């Protein structure tokens, strides 16, 4: 029998649809909380794709593709 995990510590992918409202209410939406979440996401991305022992072009190509999409959206805002 798995140990009970607090709803606050549950990942978004593991939250049931009925628990989504209470899960969102437990999140920290202050500027410091949002910056902390962005920093954790950046650190997770960096450690998974960039800071690896045997790296490839996967991480850098995703950043480049994201930049291309953003620059396209900024250039053609009428689309």
Average model confidence (pLDDT) for the chain?
Answer: 83
- 2: in domain: no
Asked if residue 64 is part of any domain, the answer here is yes
By residue range, what is the domain housing residue 63? Answer: 7-77
- What does the alpha-carbon distance between residue 21 and residue 1 come to, in Å, rounded to a whole number? 26
Q: What total of structural domains would you count in the chain?
A: 1
Q: Does 70 map to a domain?
A: yes
Residue 31 and residue 76: Cα distance in Å, rounded?
A: 30
Q: How far apart are the first and last CA of the chain?
A: 52
Does any domain span residue 1?
no
**pLDDT given at position 1:** 40
Residue 24 domain-assigned (yes or no): yes
Residue 61 confidence (pLDDT) above 60: yes
Output the pLDDT for position 70.
92
């Amino acid at each position: 029998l798995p140990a009970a995990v607090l709803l606050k510590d549950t990942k978004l992918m593991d939250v049931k649809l009925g628990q989504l409202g209470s899960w969102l209410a437990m999140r920290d939406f202050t500027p410091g909380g949002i910056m902390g979440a962005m920093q954790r996401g950046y650190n997770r991305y960096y450690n998974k794709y960039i800071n690896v022992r045997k790296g490839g072009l996967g991480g850098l190509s995703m950043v480049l593709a994201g930049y291309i999409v953003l620059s396209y959206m900024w250039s053609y805002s009428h689309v």
